[in-house]
Structure 1
Amino acid sequence: MTIPAVCRAPQPFAKGHGAGNDFIVLPDPGGHLALSATDVVWLCDRRTGIGADGILRAVRSTASPEATGMTDGTEWFMDYRNADGSLGQMCGNGIRVLARYLVDTGYCPPGTFTLATRAGIRSVHVPQRTATFAGPVTVDMGRPRLPGPAGLTVSAGTRSWPVLHVDMGNPHAVAFVESLAHPGDLTAPPSVAPATAYPHGVTIEFVVRRSPYHLALRVHERGVGETRACGTGACAAVAAALRTGATPGTYTVDMPGGQLRIAVFADSSMELTGPAAITASGVVRWPLHRP
């Protein structure tokens, strides 16, 4: 049963980001925090809450029913929630931020370890922090799954483009465009046709090719809106480029919040590398009343 907010003890939190894609980390080793969708929306609100693109609840796998069967050698489960309160299967920037947090707080040693997600087990590598440099964090993203539904299009503003479906543990629709300005301000969610293609929503990437191994993109993330960066979205863009004639190698992906690097191997598996920083910590005092 969810404990009423008025009865809850203050909750420790940390704030972090990966290339500008920001998250609130809630440490909950024993799995005691009953986090509702309303809680998530309030926490992620940038005016009345802390503000973030999503929530990362750090819970030990043995304390999470969702991690059943994934506890062999994998101590921690990433309970990821989108800013609208919906559950997320995977988050490429979020998992790197969570890994950075677990190392910075001493829950995990630096180096390589695994984390459980709703999309399965992922291996991460967090370098030893120095006095002046934290270093980028790398995550094994696995193999993209495609193609998906054929004949899909996305519309934003007055323009439409064909899209390629890519599954990175969460669904993506990738459109190649001539200019990143063409989708407009993305205040309203782009529409995908047919409307039945993604009954639970989809993250949409608008991508331009800078050079054979260099892409740039904007992302409208499912349950969030336009974000400064998206790790699974960057991988989906590279997977779509490979599908349309690119070759394996190491790709640089420019996003509004910074650069990510995606290494593509001969078996089509991908590694995502980029910045991941913890910028603040504090205590959440749950509101007595909500609108």
Structure 2
Amino acid sequence: MDLFTAMRTFVEVAQAGSMNAAALKLNVSGALVGQRIAGLEDHLQAKLLNRTTRQQKLTDFGESYLEQCKDILELVNFSEGKASDQTRQPQGRLRIAAPMSFGTSALMPALKDFTEIAPEVEIELTLSDKNEDLIADGFDAAFRIGTLEDSDLMYVQLAPYKMLVCASDTYLEQHGKPQKPSDLDHLRAVLFSKTGRKPWRFKNGTDEISWSPRANTSVNSGQAVRVAAKTGMGIAMLPETLVKGDIAEGKLVQVLSNWNLPEQPMALIYHSDRYRPQRLTTFIDFVRSVFKHHHT
């Protein structure tokens, strides 16, 4: 049995949905396709497909083996340098980690365009405000906000993560709109609990001011802080990407717009393997174009 041919046949059967459909695509008989799958199952000593007269379904082992086949066949094509246009189409599962607010407000809307560029790639996105370990947790790539630690991982520098101070119009009408950081002293803040009560550092030209927020409420979700600010619970420091829509619609009002808050560097990190699956290369290029860093 030609193992690579059997693996390619299995991938086609899984993607086509039936042996007959795969046979048409491969231009071989349905009987030959069945023989290849049976030979592969015999070789593996495991069942890949559960088949009835009406349908077929991958077994649990078949699902995991399918991803391995895609990776192996892609690597073979890569090393031989003879990939056809069909096999160059990125495919397989891509496991990505991203911070909650950025992932929800910026990454998810952008992923629609990526799925059109790479329709055969299955995205598995994990949103978490802890830094996931790429190796231990099995991720292909992860977005990082803040200064990167020294490691052997590769990275792409993205546009900095910009923060704004905002509040609802109702809250500002009741308590006054601050014109300078010291005007914040009589206002309450809603805080993102990960950053806690760290001072908010403002800069305007050569002037730098640190302000320690007073808060009755802190919460471990940027989205929840956003909702609290919109309902008039107080002022909030939130990512621009999370609130720019609310500001445009008048649901939130940016304050102290002439004072800048420190921007945090943002990057996409990924493994430094010599061989990189086409799906990951395509994703890296996509992220670089969408969230590109403008050098000054």
> When the two structures are superposed, what TM-score results if normalisation uses the length of structure 1?
0.22
Structure with higher strand content = 1
Structure with higher helix content = 2
